[in-house]
Amino acid sequence: MLRVSAESAGRYCDGLTRRSFVQVGLAGMASVGLPTILKAREGSPEGSGKKTSVILIWLDGGPGHMDMYDLKPEAPAEYRGLWNPIRSNVPGFEMTELFPLQAQRADRFSIVRSLYHNNGDHFAGGHLMLTGRGGASGADTPGKSPFVGAMATAAIGPRRAGIPAHCAVPYASSIGLRPGYFGANYVGIQHNPFETDGDPNSPAFQVQNIQLAQGLSLERLQDRQGLSQFFDKLRRDTDAKGTLAAMDRFERQAFDLVTGENARRAFDINSEDPRLRDRYGRHSWGQSTLLARRLVEAGSTWVTVHFGGWDHHWDLKSGMENYLPMVDQCVAALFDDLTLRGLYDDVLVVLCGEFSRTPRMNDGGNGGPPLSKGTPGRDHWGNSMFCLLGGGGVRGGQLVGSTNHLGETPKDRPVTPADIHHTIYRVLGVDPSLSFLNHAGRPIQALEAGAPIEELL
């Protein structure tokens, strides 16, 4: 038996759980799971004919703009923070001294400094950033709307057959919810992200969601599929509506995803050049980013990479000095790799989180016990945020908007999450007015009102 399984449980409105699986035996593949992902492509719009893809590096927990891409060296000490800005290879484009590698490549990406949604709730902020809509909060955490990436991939499918269109490495998680606001919601469970699971940095890493059952070789599986098709021929010949023939076509594509050379190569990160793996960093974040590059190169349309742990209410210094060099290494290596492979114009890299952190640092005792740690940090802040975008036809070396002298609010060119989403859809060639039926059967437009950031396009 071949089993394609999503590990995390949880029941959806259609009565299926994420433990639903595809089985292969004498009866052929069941129609639950991957075949339905592929079946949704039939009749989907062709879009603009673009071949662009997206890698979203999601900083789960809320990264602070004042410590990364929007430093305020002239502000009072409790605002400007602990690190100094450094110059980049683009005049006037500065960033934290903990980003020396990115500073040498600032011409390859741009920073939106005036992003905002004015919500300091993790769940509300995550829902706004990932779906473009409100509705969720800490008091009501389930997703209300589909992830913008799930809608995009439902519309256009993969860029190459035999690879999942929508992936997450190593898993899809928003504020501890899995797949959380990366889920497809009313667009359909089949458009949830395909999660690799595991740690891509482990020598023993292999994708757990696609595996042959013990004792079943590819040769035996292929033989069984041929036998299944032989026995099903009588039923196909008497099927006036062509339903079984269509099912066979989609099941064949699902079979190719599991057994095809393209998918097997893409997921096999251990076959990558060790020197390139070193450049990304021999840690989970670095290898997850490298695996994302492998997937978009193989044909995935949207891959999210999860970097968690950004809720720095205290001990900001050790947290950022641990995390930011890894982010610097991953982002720099990714842009270098995309450029060398001729993929820079075809892959949009996006880096952001659900919100930012307070411009004014606290004293480490915010909230009192048990939160008190005695070392400074920053709290929740959705009034001024950042988003990095580069590649995929987006102009590099640009700074979009600015914040006031204390970094509290946009000073000029305010940008909303919907504007970011419209920009991404423009890059992908997805019609933002595309509609999906919600649970009540009402058509809902994919994106909320907004506009692409034209100065980047």
Taking the alpha carbons of 251, 255, 256, 262 in that order, is the dihedral positive or negative?
Answer: positive
96, amino acid identity: T
- pLDDT at residue 287, as a whole number: 98
Average pLDDT over residues 395-399: 98
Quick check: 33 pLDDT over 90? no
Looking at residue 34, its pLDDT comes to 43
- Asked if residue 230 belongs to a domain, the reply is no
Helix (H) or strand (E) holding 1: none
Which conformational region is residue 415 in: left (phi greater than 0), alpha (psi within -120 to 50 degrees), or beta? Answer: beta
- Give the confidence band of 277 by pLDDT, cuts at 50, 70, 90: very high
Establish if 389 belongs to a structural domain. Answer: yes
pLDDT greater than 50 at residue 63:
yes
Does 220 fall in a domain? no
Block residue for tokens 């400074």? 376
Q: Average model confidence (pLDDT) for the chain?
A: 83
Alpha-carbon span 144 to 139, nearest angstrom: 13
Position 244 confidence tier, pLDDT thresholds 50, 70, 90: very low
User: Is residue 107 scored above 60 in pLDDT?
Assistant: yes
Residues 240-249: what's their mean pLDDT? 46
Query: How do strand 2-5 and strand 21-24 relate by DSSP bridges?
Result: antiparallel
Q: Does 336 map to a domain?
A: yes
* pLDDT tens per residue, range 213-239: 455 455 554 554 554 554 444 444 555
Residue in the block written with tokens 């933002």: 432
- pLDDT higher than 80, residue 349: yes
pLDDT, tens digit (0-9, with 9 covering 90-100), for 190-204: 899 999 999 999 999
Q: Per-residue pLDDT for 10 more than 80?
A: no
Q: Determine, yes or no, domain membership for 333.
A: yes
Structure tokens at 12: 């959806």
pTM for the whole structure: 0.83
Structural domain containing residue 392: 51-207+274-456
Locate 140 and state its tokens. 């009501």
Q: Hey, CA dihedral for 253, 432, 440, 44, is it positive or negative? A: negative
Quick: pLDDT tens for 407-425: 999 999 999 999 999 999 9
Burial grade of 234 (CB within 10 A; 0-12, 13-18, 19 or more): exposed
| pLDDT for the residue 227 | 45
**Distance of alpha carbon 65 from alpha carbon 337, whole angstroms:** 26
> What CATH number did the domain enclosing 125 receive?
3.40.720.10
Q: pLDDT tens, 143-196?
A: 999 999 999 999 999 999 889 999 999 999 999 999 999 999 999 998 999 999
Looking at the domain assignment, is residue 24 inside a domain?
no
Residue 155 lies in a domain: yes
Contacts within 8 Å (CB) and 24+ apart, 364-371: 364/314, 364/315, 366/313, 366/314, 367/313, 371/313, 371/314
Residue 370 is assigned to a structural domain of this protein:
yes
Number of domains in the chain: 1
